[in-house]
Structure 1
Amino acid sequence: MTDRVFPSSKPATNGTAPAANGTFPATKSQLYGTTRPAYRPQPHHRRRHSRSCWCSCCLWFTLTIILLLLLVAITGAIFYVVYRPHRPSFSVTSLKLSYLNVTSSSTLNSKLDLNINAKNPNKKLVFIYNPVTISILSNDINIGDGTVPSFVHGKKNTTLLKATITSSGRELDSESVATLKTGMKSNKGLPLKIKLETKVKAKMGGIKTPKIGIRVSCDGIKATVPSGKTAVTASTSNAKCKVDIRIKVWKWTF
């Protein structure tokens, strides 16, 4: 009796043997992945090191600035307690107007004699002044300039400053001419303002401070323009002087 052959229950695989245990052959990506090493980003040690150095420098710089400011504040406090510094004061004692006229060609000629008292109220400080520039204005129009030589202002001392203020042939615009002529004809007198500007340093024994700018403004002065050759004394009873300290930092002045 012959054996009967039955067909296989599994489909043909076009000449390829089926995978054992029901698994499939590996894909290309799997094959490549087995030989290519995994990408691992490397840490940037140089960047971290430079960043930490920069942070350290900023920290030390900030601490140094704070320390310097603290030392300056302590030094200033000690200086104030020991010396009790006060700024100098100024007062106008007399102002005489010899002449003030505006010519037909709009030029100004003037002459004034000014006396100012400078007072140093400090017991332990000596002031050393640079030459002082003086300007006299009327309604913000400059009518004369002068100077006072440099001088040393002793402790608890009052120094008289004398100056001759002049203007010769200064050209004025039409508006300034009209303003000056109106003031010259006024019964109340011509309003005048005095400005002094210089630099000063303080001396404490053998120690000298850096030079500091100082500006003095005196207003409340009235003057009558003389009609002849006799000088007229201006009214200075209401004159008040204000002293401003001017500190220059780089390009700015405070």
Structure 2
Amino acid sequence: MGDKAYTSSSKPIPNPPPKPLNGTVANGGGPAVKPPAFPPTKAQQYGAGRPPYRPQPPLTSRRRRSRRGCCCVCCLWLTLILIALVFLAAIAAGVLYLLYHPQRPSFTVSSVNLSALNISSADVLNSRLDFTVTARNPNRKVVFVYGDIAISADSDGIGLGDGSIPGFVHETGNTTVLKAAVSSSAVSLDPTDASDLRKKKRFPLEIELETKVGFKIGSFKSKRIGIRVTCKGLNAAVEKKTKTAAASPSSSTAAKCKPRIKIWNWAF
């Protein structure tokens, strides 16, 4: 009676099976059996053996930065070179000025004769203008070399003709007198311009000379640069013929001209 009754569910096992080692599973009283191997998950297949992802900057940005750096360096060097060249040119110009004291040439229109200015009823212009230009070189050591000179003349913006003068060498301390003529033949005018010219008896004139000039100091010769010489303040009447075929000169006041350096279409 003192013995305890055990149910089949609570009766202790006299010899419990040993615990499995190294992940094996007991198989009743037989040898231990390893548990079945399950296939790895997708996370284990694709990310288990890889290092953590670290985003890298794109290569294009690195290339752009390197190109910008190269451009900045090139611009800096070009700027330094230009500054150095300007500085050297200024030094050379200062040395030349101290040694030779160069002066620019002067030009003067000493006489003008308007031998013809005819306007037909169809507003067609025929004209001829003769004038004299006196050029002076005040330098003692600088020689000017002029190319061919193109000449034009107008009256209140109305063109009266074109002409040219051959180039020449202007020696030191020399005064050269240049005789030139401009003319126009069968040039059609605007009716308003033709009417304005018919009303005038004396014509205000403006003469313009364009050429290229270089200078020579000893054996050194410079490249030629463009210059424009403008002569204003002139006026003339049409020359009248007498019965003896002698011409009465048209009066004109001598005018000094202003030379300027020409770069493309600008003059300074």
Kindly indicate whether the alpha-carbon contact (under 8 Å) linking 1:218 and 1:241 is maintained by their aligned counterparts in 2: yes
Q: SS where residue 233 of structure 1 aligns?
A: coil
CA distance in 2, matches of 1:214, 1:97: 26
Q: Deviations over 1:62-97 (max 9, x none)?
A: 333332222222222222222222221111111112
Instruction: Select which of 218, 237, 254 maps to 2:231.
Output: 218
Contact 2:128 2:182 survives alignment (8 Å): yes
The match for 1:236 is 253
Partner of 2:263: 247
Q: 1:219/1:59 Cα in 2 relative to 1: closer, same or farther (>3 Å)? A: closer
Give the greater-gyration-radius structure (CA): 2
What's the offset of the Cα at 1:213?
0.7
Deviation at residue 224 of structure 1 after TM alignment:
1.7
Q: How does 1:115-194 map to 2 (within 5 A)?
A: 115-184=132-201, 189-194=202-207
After TM superposition, the structure 1 = structure 2 runs for residues 52-67 of structure 1, keeping only pairs within 5 Å, are 53-67=70-84
* Cα distance change, pair 129–42 in 1 and its aligned pair in 2 (3 A): same
Structure 1 gaps, min length 5 = 8-27
Matches within 5 A, 1:71-90: 71-90=88-107
TM-superposed deviation, 1:37: 1.0
Separation in 2 of the partners of 1:112 and 1:33? 99
Give, in whole Å, the separation in 2 of the partners of 1:41 and 1:247. Answer: 58
Flag the 1:37–1:146 CA change in 2: closer, same or farther, 3 A.
Answer: same
| Deviations 1:164-212, CA, capped at 9 Å, x for gaps | 222222221211101211223xxxx211111111111101111111111
Distance 2:72 2:160 in 1: 60
**Identity level (%):** 46
Cα distance change, pair 3–158 in 1 and its aligned pair in 2 (3 A): farther
Q: Residues 88-127 of structure 1: matches in 2 within 5 Å?
A: 88-127=105-144
Match of 2:211 in 1: 198
Aligned AA (1:243): P
Are 2:112 and 2:132, in contact at CA under 8 Å, matched by a contact in 1?
yes
**Superposed CA RMSD:** 3.0
Letter in 1 for 2:50: R
Is this contact kept in 1: 2:212–2:227, CA < 8 A?
yes
Could you tell me how far 1:218 is from its partner in structure 2? Answer: 0.9
Residue 198 of structure 1 aligns with an amino acid whose one-letter code is T
Q: TM-score when scaled to structure 1?
A: 0.76
Separation of aligned partners in 2, 1:136 and 1:121: 27
- Once residues 157 and 67 of structure 2 are traced to their aligned partners in structure 1, the CA distance between those partners, rounded to angstroms, is 59
User: What secondary structure, in the 3-state scheme, does the structure 2 residue paired with 1:235 have?
Assistant: coil
Size of the aligned set, in residue pairs, is 226
Q: Distance in 2 between matches of 1:215 and 1:76?
A: 22
**Deviation of 1:253 (Å):** 4.5
Q: Are residues 50 and 219 of structure 1, via their aligned partners in 2, closer, same or farther at CA, if it must alter by over 3 Å?
A: closer
TM-score computed with the length of structure 2 as normaliser: 0.73
Matched with 1:37 is: 51
Instruction: Say which SS state the counterpart of residue 210 (structure 1) adopts.
Output: coil
Counterpart secondary structure, 1:35: coil
1:161 positional shift: 0.6
Q: Is the 8 A contact 1:223 1:232 kept in 2?
A: no
* 1:127–1:200 contact (8 Å) kept in structure 2: yes
